Amino acid sequence: MDHIWVDVKFLNPKTGDEVETKALIDTGAAYTIAPAEMAKKLGLESLGFVDVKTASGSERLWESEARIKIFDRENIADTCK
C-alpha cells in the first residue's frame, strides 16, 4: 500500500509562527505527531504528557496544541512530539 504525503503548515495558535513541511497522513491516528524540533521552533506550550500506542509500541509524548493547515482547510489539533 502506498503512503500518502501532503504539504502541511503547522502554526502556533498564540504567536502565529509557522513551519511548512511534508506530512504522512494516517487516517486511524488519534493525535498528530510532530518532530520535537518543530514544536520547539514554533514555541508550542506543553499541556502535559499523553500515552500513545504506535506500531513500535507504547510511548509517552509531550502534548500541545497547534493550528494545522492542509490544502485550504485549517483547524486546531492536539499535537504530540
CATH of the domain at 55: 2.40.70.10
C-alpha cell at 54: 504506535
C-alpha cell at 59: 510511548
Within 13 Å of residue 24, how many CA atoms lie on the same side as its CB? 8
| Cβ contact 80:61 at 8 Å | yes
Confidence class for position 79, pLDDT limits 50, 70, 90: low
* Range of the structural domain that residue 24 is part of: 5-80
Q: What's the domain count of the chain?
A: 1
pTM (2 decimals)?
0.80
Per-residue confidence (pLDDT) for residue 53, from 0 to 100: 87
The Cα–Cα gap between 22 and 62 comes to 21
